[in-house]
A = this chain, B = another copy of it.
Amino acid sequence: MDRPDVKRLARQLKALGHPNRLQLFLNLVEESQLDLAKGRTHDCFLAKLLGGLDINAPTVSHHVKELADAGLIDTERQGKQLICSVRPDALHALRALFEPTGT
């Protein structure tokens, strides 16, 4: 039943399967929720997401691209900054994967 998406899902899980990327993603999710709660759009530029992560620019850039390529986040350039946002569909897919009603 799952056959076709397994590859896509595995890709997304792999993207999250690295401490720094997972933290980056969780920071973003949290920001999104804060902003959604306030009724604003949920965007966030890179530097804000680092939250204590001890990695430097090139590595961050690499990780962000990884998340984007896996379809977990969207990015959009705005002036000098890169604005990131979580893809709701990806979040849904991940939730569904672990739900009891998974199949």
Please state the number of chain copies in the assembly. 2
User: Are A30 and B98 in contact (CB-based, < 8 A)?
Assistant: no
Residues facing B in A1-41 (CB within 8 A) are 1-3, 6-7, 9-19, 21-23, 26, 29-30, 33
Given contacts A13-B22, A22-B6, contact A95 B102 (CB under 8 A): no
Q: How far is the CB of A8 from chain B (nearest CB, A)?
A: 10
Closest Cβ neighbor of A1 among chain B residues: B30
Q: How far is the CB of A94 from chain B (nearest CB, A)?
A: 5
CA A103 – CA B91 in complex, angstroms? 15
* Residues of B close to A23: CB separation below 8 A: 2-3, 6
User: Are A102 and B22 in contact (CB-based, < 8 A)?
Assistant: no
Given contacts A11-B17, A13-B13, A17-B14, contact A102 B26 (CB under 8 A): yes
